[in-house]
Every structure is written in structure tokens, then in C-alpha cells.
Amino acid sequence: MTPSLARRVVAEGLGTAFLLAAVVGSGIMAVRLAGGNGALALLCNTLPTGAILTVLILTFAPVSGAHFNPAVSIAATLRGELPAATAVSYVGAQLLGGILGVWASHLMFELPVWQISATARSGPGQWLAEAVATFGLLLTILGCSARTPSAVPYAVGLYITAAYWFTASTSFANPAVTIARSLSDTFAGIAPAGVAAFIGAQLVGMLAAVALGRWLWSK
């Protein structure tokens, strides 16, 4: 039996909240423990993010599909797998959940809850990185879903772990994550001025993946 829309929306919001709590919280902890070593701080931020994604997808996929990402929900709608009205509800839950996850991290580390990031992330290289990161993420999901659905949680977690390092932007690849991270002036933050371009690049990457995926894994 398909879970009710309310259950699916709660699953999307809760999963996205935990994802952002892991991204921002591990970033704060990394900076505190890395002693100024940027590479070590990034590694300490990367591993929890990849790990929590795997856990969250395994936990919530049976309820909502475990999107936690507006780009994934929009792609599912474009592919005829998710009604548009449901996608709107998912996206709303993802945005709210992401912000709540960021605020929870601030509270846990005894930082001001309301923050605006001052970390500038902009320029053609960063925008290309976000398009590439999102393109690869969607291809990972589409390819594994077409042939080995049980591998999706592990593939997504591993992909994001790798993309943190091979993309110049450290692979946000998620509009909800991008917006939420603009509200944290910590290691994981992005200044609001860079948000729109990041989201635009992410959507371009998503559309390219949907188009190519339809051809690569045609039924």
C-alpha cells in the first residue's frame, strides 16, 4: 500500500533536515578539530555527508522515495514518475526541512540560530561544477534505478563523497541544500548572492541528465 501524502511529505522534510544537520554540523566540528588544515576539514565534512545520505535513503526510500532534493523530485515529475502536485509538496518539505536542519546544527553547537553566510561561491568554474555535480548525481540515480535499484543508497552516498573532491564547488547538487546553507555562516555556507546561479546550474545539470538518461536506459 502506498503511504499517504502526509507521511511522504514528512519523510522528505525529516530526511532533508537530517541531511543538512550532518552537512553543517560536521563542517562546524571539522573546523574546530582540524587545527586550520583545510584539506582535513573538508575530509571530515565529506565522510559524514556521504554516510548520512546512504542511511537516510535506506531509511526513507520505502516511504517517499527519499529524494531530499528538489532536482530529483522535478526529474521524477518530468519522467512521469511523480505527480506535479506531489512534487510541489515534496519541494516545500525539502526546503523547510533543510532550514530546520541548519538551525538544529546551530543550536547543537551553541551558535546563533539566525545567520547569513558570507562565504562567496561564484564564477564560471563554480557554476560548471554544480551543473556537472547534479548531472552526475541524477545519472547515478537513474542508472542504478533502471538496473539495480537496491544499489541506489550506496551509489548516491559514494557519488557525493567523491564529488565533494572532484568538483570546484564541493558538490551542493541540490537547490534545497543550497538555500539552507546560505543561512549558515559556517564552513558549509554559501553567500546568498551566489544561490540563484548555483540553483540555475543545478537545474541545467538535472535536465541534461533526464534527457540523456531517457536514451541510455530506455525501456
User: Could you give the percent of the chain with pLDDT greater than 90?
Assistant: 98
Q: Which three cell numbers stand for residue 184?
A: 549558515
Buried b (16+ CB within 10 A) or exposed e, 27-49: bbbbbeebeeeeeebbebbbebb
Please identify which residue in the block is written with the cell numbers 558549509: 188
* Span between the terminal Cα atoms of the chain, in Å: 25
Top-confidence residue, 219 or 211: 211
Residue 205 reports pLDDT greater than 90: yes
**3-class SS letters over 1-13:** CCCCHHHHHHHHH
The torsion defined by the Cα of 84, 159, 125 and 37, in degrees rounded to 10, comes to 130
This prediction has a pTM of 0.96
pLDDT tens-digit series, residues 88-111: 999 999 999 999 999 999 999 999
Residue 219 reports pLDDT greater than 90: no
User: Could you give the percent of the chain with pLDDT greater than 70?
Assistant: 100
Q: What are the structural domains, with CATH classification, of the chain?
A: 5-216 (1.20.1080.10)
Residue 179 reports pLDDT greater than 80: yes
Helices (H), 35-83: 38-64, 70-78
Q: Quick one: average pLDDT of 205-210?
A: 98
pLDDT tens-digit series, residues 117-133: 999 999 999 999 999 99
pLDDT tens-digit series, residues 50-80: 999 999 999 999 999 999 999 999 999 999 9
Contact call for residues 2 and 24 (beta carbons, < 8 A): no
The half-sphere exposure of 127 on its side-chain side, counting CA atoms within 13 A, is 13
Average pLDDT taken over every residue of the chain: 97
The whole-number pLDDT of residue 81 equals 96
What pLDDT band is residue 218 in, cutting at 50, 70 and 90?
Answer: confident
Residue 171 reports pLDDT greater than 90: yes
